[in-house]
Amino acid sequence: MKIVVIGGTGLIGSQVVALVRERGHEAVAASPSTGVDTLTGQGLEEALQGADVVVDVSNSPSFDTEPALDFFTRSARHLIDAEKKAGVRHHVTLSIVGVDQVPDYGYYRAKVAQEEAVRDSGVPYSIVRATQFFEFIAPVMDMSTEGEQVRMPSVRLRPIASADVAAAVAEAAWSEPSYGVRNIGGPEIHGLDRLGEITLAVKPDGRTVVTDETAGLFAGMPDVLVGDDTLHTAATGYEEWLKRR
């Protein structure tokens, strides 16, 4: 099976490419750094020649509403057109748990638009929705740091190791299209502020966490990011993962 991974050089994509190859399939890592740009369409036709499956784990370089909306809608359009020309028989997209319940957050609206484009495309599809990646916690903390304080709200998250996300995406890629959504998350639910405390307890760096419901990227986020009872739970715990790094 030839599986083209759009965003195949990124955090999730590079792990999906490795898993696909381990499984004995052909994997192509497609991204601007390998000459494939879904925003312009450049290199897509060549990359998709003979492809059975396309996995889209690309990400917008900007999290702001307009650029993200432009990235995900334009990329989806180019990708779907190229998939139809190439006769691709399965498209897998990675999205976010609870994404359609946060209409006030532009990046999430952009991801919903991406999902809609995939559902309406006519190409058989599977959507994997993951919770926030463990790897995402440290950058969120850095963005929320003022002096020695990390100011973050107590919104509940159920973060997951990127390796567990990649495994679920790869599994979807070599399985039949589900025409639906598979929700995946980590084994534990914590407030974002508590996740910051756990991080600094394992890797102290002089900073302390201050709970501030008005601070940072997740301020005002509704309590929808932990998923519901349809969520499949991955094994890796956050503290155990941190200690291994």
Ligand X SMILES: NC(=O)c1ccc[n+]([C@@H]2O[C@H](COP(=O)([O-])OP(=O)(O)OC[C@H]3O[C@@H](n4cnc5c(N)ncnc54)[C@H](OP(=O)(O)O)[C@@H]3O)[C@@H](O)[C@H]2O)c1
Residues 6+ apart with CB under 8 A from 174: 1, 3, 20, 23, 25, 53
Nearer to ligand X among residue 6 and residue 80 (C-beta): 6
d(CA 92, CA 118): 9
Query: Where would I find the H helices in the chain?
Result: 11-22, 44-48, 65-86, 106-119, 134-143, 162-173, 192-202, 238-243
Q: Which of 4, 7, 105, 173 binds ligand X (CB under 6 A)?
A: 7
Binding of residue 133 to ligand X (CB under 6 A): yes
Binding of residue 31 to ligand X (CB under 6 A): yes
Nearer to ligand X among residue 68 and residue 150 (C-beta): 68
Binding of residue 37 to ligand X (CB under 6 A): yes
- Comparing every residue's Cβ against ligand X, the nearest one is 10
**At closest approach, how far in Å is the CB of 243 from ligand X?**
20
**At closest approach, how far in Å is the CB of 147 from ligand X?**
26
Write each residue from 53 to 92 as x if it is in contact with ligand X (CB under 6 A), else as -, in one continuous string. Answer: ----xxx-x-------------------------------
Residues 6+ apart with CB under 8 A from 115: 93, 95, 99, 100, 127
Binding of residue 130 to ligand X (CB under 6 A): yes
**Sign of torsion over alpha carbons 70, 93, 124, 232:** negative
DSSP state of 51: -
Binding of residue 185 to ligand X (CB under 6 A): no
Binding of residue 199 to ligand X (CB under 6 A): no
d(CA 193, CA 219): 11
**At closest approach, how far in Å is the CB of 46 from ligand X?**
14
Tell how strand 149-152 and strand 145-146 pair up.
antiparallel
**At closest approach, how far in Å is the CB of 148 from ligand X?**
25
Q: Which of 1, 2, 25, 32 binds ligand X (CB under 6 A)?
A: 32
The answer to whether the beta carbons of residues 38 and 85 sit under 8 Å apart is no
SS3 68: helix
# binding residues, ligand X (CB under 6 A): 25
Place of tokens 């139809």: 84
Binding of residue 112 to ligand X (CB under 6 A): no
SS3 131: coil
Q: Which of 96, 141, 184, 215 binds ligand X (CB under 6 A)?
A: 96
Nearer to ligand X among residue 31 and residue 199 (C-beta): 31
Q: Which of 91, 109, 111, 158 binds ligand X (CB under 6 A)?
A: 111
Instruction: Name the residues that contact ligand X, by CB under 6 A.
Output: 6-7, 9-13, 31-33, 36-39, 57-59, 61, 94, 96, 111, 130, 132-133, 136
